[in-house]
Amino acid sequence: MKYKYLRKTIVWFGLCILILVGSFIVNKILTRKHFSEKPLPPQISISIKSGVNLRQLTPESAVQLKEISIFRNEQKDGVPVAIEGSADISDLFVLYENGKIYRWDLQSHDIIASDILFAGQKERRLPVYLINAGVSFSKDGKYAITPNEILSNGIYGLNYWDLVSRKLIYCNGEEKYCPGWPPGDDSVTSLQIHPIRDLFFTAHSHIVDGTYGFIKTNGTGGSFFIRTGQYEDPTISRLAIDTTGDYLAIADEKGNIQVGDISAHKQPMQNEQNNYGFSSNVYYRLSSFSDKKIKTVDLKFDETHSWLAWLTNQQLVIWSLHNYIFPLHLNIKLEEGNAIRFDHTGKLLAIATQNGFLIFDIEKGKIISEFPVGEVTALYFSKDNCMIMWGDSKGDIHIWGVPK
Per-residue pLDDT, 260: 87
pLDDT in tens, 338-391: 999 999 999 999 999 999 999 999 999 999 999 999 999 999 999 899 999 999
Give the per-residue pLDDT at 14.
74
Amino acid present at 281: N
Give the integer Cα–Cα distance in Å for 309 and 329.
10
Q: State the pLDDT at residue 29.
A: 53
Asked whether 351 and 53 are in contact (CB, 8 A), the reply is no
- Taking CA atoms, 328 is separated from 37, 239, 309, 316, 331, in Å, by 17, 19, 10, 11, 8
Per-residue confidence (pLDDT) for residue 364, from 0 to 100: 93
- This prediction has a pTM of 0.87
Spatial contact of 160 and 138, defined as CB atoms under 8 Å apart: no
Question: How many whole angstroms separate alpha carbon 209 and alpha carbon 226?
Answer: 5
In angstroms, how far is the first alpha carbon of the chain from the final one? 78
Residues 345 and 17: their CA atoms lie apart, in Å, by 41
Q: What is the pLDDT of residues 190-206, one digit of tens each?
A: 999 999 888 999 998 88
Q: Quick one: DSSP state of residue 233?
A: S
DSSP 89: S
The predicted pLDDT at position 281 comes to 74
Identify residue 369 by its one-letter amino acid code: S
- Structural domain 53-401, CATH architecture: 7 Propeller (2.130)
Residue stretches of the chain with pLDDT short of 50? 30-31, 177, 179-180, 219
| CA dihedral sign of residues 63, 67, 68, 71 | positive
Count CB-CB contacts under 10 A for residue 72.
10
Q: How far apart are CA 359 and CA 70, in angstroms?
A: 20
Q: Are residues 349 and 360 in contact, defined by beta-carbon separation less than 8 angstroms?
A: yes
